[in-house]
Amino acid sequence: MAFLALVAMASVALAADRNDKRGLCFVPNPDHPGDNKLWAGENSDISWYYNYQDTPSPAFSDFPQSDFEFVPMMWGVTEDLDATTFLDNVKGLIDDGRNITHVLGFNEPDGPFEWGGSDIPPKDAARAWVANFEPLGEMGVKLGLPGCTGGWGSMPWLREFLGNCSEILSDGRDEKKNCTWDFIPVHWYDNFEGLASHIGERLAEWPNTSIWITEYAYAHKDLKEAQEFFNQTLDYFDKEDFVGRYTYFGAFRSDSSNVGNDTVFLNKAGELTDIGSWYLGGEATGVDPRSAASHQAVTGWLTLACFTISLLGLL
């Protein structure tokens, strides 16, 4: 009885420890599926994730929406701008009992395909938005504007997008309507001052809005700079009310990183680096992001080997 009560208390405490803002930008690792298991669960502060798609990741099928919230994204558009595939898929998730409360607009529509952007003219994006996002807004789902790059072109893109959106919705009528949206996702790969000013620029144009930083890291910096930036941004995001949520870009191994070797959560052997462990709410691991295997891992194997040998001795 006492034991059960303790277990129950422990799980409540762990659930309450999760950080409502902190999320996972999930890039699945098909070669090392074990890596995918690190991010959710009792030992993680991460409370939600997105995966650039509108279907939840099989890696997290053990976790109900209330434990590890999935936020669908419409990555880009197809040739048929009025297609409602995204809307239908999100409605399907809701009909199946998944409590979807937030969705994300297009991924880097102001960026070219070769850099990972969805490369959509504002006019086209607005049409696809009206077809897919406006009905979700009417259902009470909170809508994140398209997540533009950190480049200079992102503000003009957003303005043209919203301008087109109003034109489509108003459809020539005298009474003008604006598109519905609830928060602004941003991406950032440079220093802290630049990030704060990028956010400030958006708050100046749309006062009192909520900002989600859905991709960020100090790209291609050495370990010290990467860690300083990591600490500084985490403090800032957790403290400021205008930051709705955030997802660091780094939940992968250093040898598959396109944002630098020292900024990531995992070394080449899939072991948590300091940054990776801190993001989950743990202590520094001392694991060098560039290493192939750490001292700790070797000790782990030795312990296992000794254990096996002693078991064999028993037989």
**CB-nearer residue toward ligand NAG: 83 or 203:** 203
- State which of residues 101, 197, 296, 303 lies at the interface with ligand NAG (CB under 6 A): 101
C-beta pairs of 113-121 under 8 Å, 24+ apart in sequence: 115/149, 117/149, 118/75, 118/76, 118/77, 119/76, 120/76, 120/77, 120/146
SS3 53: coil
Confirm or reject binding of residue 89 to ligand NAG (CB under 6 A).
no
- From residue 153 to residue 182, what is the string marking binding to ligand NAG with x (rule CB under 6 A)? -------x--xx--x--------x-x----
Only one of the segments 40-48, 103-111, 120-128, 140-148 lies at the binding site for ligand NAG (rule: CB under 6 A); that segment is 120-128
**Region from 86-94, 133-141, 143-151, 249-257 binding ligand NAG, contact rule CB under 6 A:** 249-257
- Kindly state whether residue 258 participates in binding ligand NAG, applying the rule CB under 6 A: yes
Q: How far is the CB of 194 from ligand NAG (least distance, A)?
A: 19
Q: How many CB atoms lie within 10 A of CB 253?
A: 21
The nearer residue to ligand NAG, 41 or 163, going by C-beta atoms, is: 163
Q: Which of 278, 280, 287, 288 binds ligand NAG (CB under 6 A)?
A: 278
Residue 225 beta carbon to ligand NAG: minimum distance, rounded to whole angstroms: 9
Pick from 122, 146, 244, 250 the residue near ligand NAG by CB under 6 A.
122
284 binds ligand NAG (CB under 6 A): yes
> Taking CB under 6 A as the rule, does residue 261 contact ligand NAG?
yes
Kindly state whether residue 257 participates in binding ligand NAG, applying the rule CB under 6 A. yes
Closest-approach residue to ligand NAG (CB) = 163
Task: Give yes or no for residue 255 binding ligand NAG (CB under 6 A).
Answer: yes
Does position 18 interact with ligand NAG (CB under 6 A)? The reply is no
Q: How far is CA 79 from the centre of its chain?
A: 27
> For ligand NAG, which stretch binds (CB under 6 A), given 77-85, 115-123, 134-142, 143-151?
115-123
Least distance in Å: CB of 39 to ligand NAG? 18
Nearer to ligand NAG, 119 or 255 (CB): 255
273 in contact with ligand NAG (CB under 6 A):
no
3-class state of residue 197 by DSSP: helix
The residues binding ligand NAG (CB under 6 A) are 99, 101, 121-123, 160, 163-164, 167, 176, 178, 208, 227-228, 231, 254-255, 257-258, 261, 278, 284, 290
